[in-house]
Chain A
């Protein structure tokens, strides 16, 4: 029996009797981060990082029992030593380090090693077994620098402004949207408007001390407000919705790692794609795996097989483990504390 294993409700530690990011309600849930596929309702008790408490509470509601711990602060769970370490994915995102009788496992949740001003940077941990995501597990995925991407976004916005169009930039409501707003904080873009789902999470980020561009809630603007020349940040689910009508003539942009591939952008009928991801790209993924020193690697979600083969060919015991985590899948509606925000 391994220290962690896949059980009915997800990744389970029998010795400590707790789950990591369970897909159903359980007695004890350790949560890596607040995205919908990782933080589900219905568990009796939650453990998360101090940094991630605000966004997790926004998601789970005031009645959830949440215990927050500082980075690296060990917690004893039925004799198993559990600690949380920054994963660099979104605000408060954690890797879960599990130590029991001298054996160390690390479950990464979702992570990235690229710099991001909205969260604490990824911490590389030594371990025996590393459980990794593989959302972008192919060598075609290699991220450009943030500087380049934000230059492109500004140029796109300026061009739209000159042509009297509003720029609607789509990105995950939790994490990506705030990373965009942080990157544009000093861009001199003028009024930036946010979709309701984004605006609500902006509050949590600002309370967590993250500096974002000033935003206004788009739906609060009076009827007939002229959005020409402004930038609007919205979740991808808003694309093509009634909510979009108020903006008049628009150009649409989408910030996602998938935009690295031309066909992905074209299939979405988006005007501009910006390659900006909150997941590891291929070189960083390999570097992270190597850096952990792990002899065993489990690959939970994304393009798993190529990574498993790559690692196996290099003498690492790797295997694909089926999970219900999705990585960067933006078709989900944005869920916040029991309500679905559509505008």
Chain B
């Protein structure tokens, strides 16, 4: 348990992704497999069911710590976390034996389920007496069902890959589905022979280059296929051996996160691989990306999220059919097969990416101007005779993104960065005018040169109005041109809206704060962008 507590502390203490991963790598390399298996389970968001009501636990802790209820309440107020309050109030541990994590789970945690209240109390109090510091805190988090660690599944996969030398994709595959936290499951993760994972393996995604030249230089329009550039999650849906796997471009296996796609994939022919974009989609049209974000990162899909934000796969391409790799075939032919396969599957959630008519290059320009109305972020141009290559290839596929929204805004807060930039103010909050007041609406971190950052940092230090911890409220003086991709109503924000991918385009030293834009301008974008 001590080693697991050290791992928890190491992850908890750092903001740096690499250090979190390194801490996990060290743990996975040294822990016994039975412990490592439980660690994988908990780090991946697995939680034991809460077996004892927290009120009851708190009352046992009060008795054990000899603290009256009113004082417990005062302490809870100061700490803000029940499991931690109990840990801090209980007397120091009386024994210092270090039993492994799996022992605590198998011998103490899981058996609580079959016990009477008196037996539960005896067992929990005994455990408190045997555990110190962080271990006791973790134990309390586990028995209250509130254990959480600040790592994503992807980081766990990365750490396991580094610790075992097995490819990340293979690890993700092996962890998918019902993974039981047992020593043999952990050993199986590390197996060097990876044939078991072949069935799930996606193809490397072909990526498009930004369009650089005039359209006319691409040749005749009829050599090209045009589609909307969708703003969702690029993914491959794989149907092999009567199983379905959905992979994102970030090598994340997300089959369970999109049950509507997984269910529809049952009707795809054996040996099929679709390449497309997972899109939030309702009543025949796309929803803004922000809606999809509500589903990303969720560990369970409870409540009404599935009906609020249904998804579809806008299918771009067919990479495999009947187990045969089609990537060398010309796009035109793959597209025809794609339409046939999807028509036969009769699915409402696999939609061939709608073709945009391309009568002339001027027609393409007209379509491009309409992209935002379609909730798309631009136009894709793909050569009809192109193969599906590997990685980012020039010539076959071009992306033509719409220009971002831009707005002039005033910097009102600044915060220091992390790591190398911990002593520079690099994170800024921007505001626009509303009824004579500045309303914050976006934070942006990038877009300035190092020289500009240093200059601004000096200015921020000399012009701070107030400090709240690491955040400085500065004089509203500097105007910046910000660009962003999308805009959404958001009742959680003071401005009533949220922007996507805000970034600094230019420092407008030529403008004064009163020249900055207003909230009304942003609201107008919102209507335009829908």
A279 to chain B, nearest CB (A): 15
Given the known A-B contacts A260-B88, A269-B470, A271-B13, are A139 and B75 also in contact in the complex, defined by CB atoms under 8 Å?
yes
| Contacting pair B80 A142 (CB below 8 A) | no
Given the known A-B contacts A240-B416, A262-B12, are A310 and B422 also in contact in the complex, defined by CB atoms under 8 Å?
no
| Contacting pair B422 A272 (CB below 8 A) | no
- Which residues of chain B are near A239, meaning CB under 8 Å? 470
Please report which residues of chain A, range 68-92, place their CB below 8 angstroms from some CB of chain B when the two chains form the complex: none
A226 to chain B, nearest CB (A): 15
Alpha-carbon separation in the docked complex, A250 to B21 (Å)? 18
- Which residues of chain A are near B469, meaning CB under 8 Å? 267-269
| Contacting pair A240 B422 (CB below 8 A) | yes
Given the known A-B contacts A268-B469, A306-B74, are A250 and B422 also in contact in the complex, defined by CB atoms under 8 Å?
yes
- Which residues of chain A are near B422, meaning CB under 8 Å? 240, 244, 250, 252
For B133, give the chain A residue with the smallest CB separation: A144
Number of B positions contacting A (CB below 8 A)? 30
Alpha-carbon separation in the docked complex, A142 to B88 (Å)? 8
For B9, give the chain A residue with the smallest CB separation: A272
Contact with B423, one of A242, A260, A262, A310 (Cβ below 8 angstroms): A242
B496 to chain A, nearest CB (A): 27
Q: Does A292 contact B (CB under 8 A)?
A: no
Q: Does A140 contact B (CB under 8 A)?
A: yes
B194 to chain A, nearest CB (A): 32
Alpha-carbon separation in the docked complex, A61 to B15 (Å)? 43
Please report which residues of chain B, range 444-469, place their CB below 8 angstroms from some CB of chain A when the two chains form the complex: 457, 461, 469
| Contacting pair A138 B78 (CB below 8 A) | yes
Please report which residues of chain A, range 9-39, place their CB below 8 angstroms from some CB of chain B when the two chains form the complex: none
Given the known A-B contacts A142-B88, A261-B78, are A309 and B70 also in contact in the complex, defined by CB atoms under 8 Å?
yes
- Which residues of chain B are near A140, meaning CB under 8 Å? 75, 78-79, 85, 88-89
Q: Does A249 contact B (CB under 8 A)?
A: yes
Alpha-carbon separation in the docked complex, A72 to B327 (Å)? 91
Q: Does B434 contact A (CB under 8 A)?
A: no
Q: Does B81 contact A (CB under 8 A)?
A: yes
Number of A positions contacting B (CB below 8 A)? 29
Q: Does B269 contact A (CB under 8 A)?
A: no
| Contacting pair A303 B78 (CB below 8 A) | yes
B490 to chain A, nearest CB (A): 25
| Contacting pair A310 B79 (CB below 8 A) | no
For A148, give the chain B residue with the smallest CB separation: B133
Given the known A-B contacts A241-B423, A262-B84, A271-B14, are A139 and B78 also in contact in the complex, defined by CB atoms under 8 Å?
no
Alpha-carbon separation in the docked complex, A303 to B71 (Å)? 12
Q: Does A188 contact B (CB under 8 A)?
A: no
| Contacting pair A263 B423 (CB below 8 A) | no
Alpha-carbon separation in the docked complex, A309 to B70 (Å)? 10
Given the known A-B contacts A240-B422, A240-B470, A249-B419, are A261 and B71 also in contact in the complex, defined by CB atoms under 8 Å?
no
B118 to chain A, nearest CB (A): 26
| Contacting pair A139 B13 (CB below 8 A) | no
Please report which residues of chain A, range 225-279, place their CB below 8 angstroms from some CB of chain B when the two chains form the complex: 239-245, 248-250, 252, 260-263, 267-269, 271-272
For A168, give the chain B residue with the smallest CB separation: B422
| Contacting pair B79 A261 (CB below 8 A) | yes
A139-B67, A140-B89 known; 10 new pairs, CB 8 Å cut-off, are A138-B74, A138-B75, A240-B416, A242-B457, A249-B420, A261-B78, A261-B79, A263-B81, A305-B74, A306-B71
Q: Would you list the 8 A-B pairs with minimal beta carbon distance, nearest first?
A: A140-B88, A244-B423, A245-B423, A240-B416, A140-B75, A306-B74, A263-B80, A138-B75
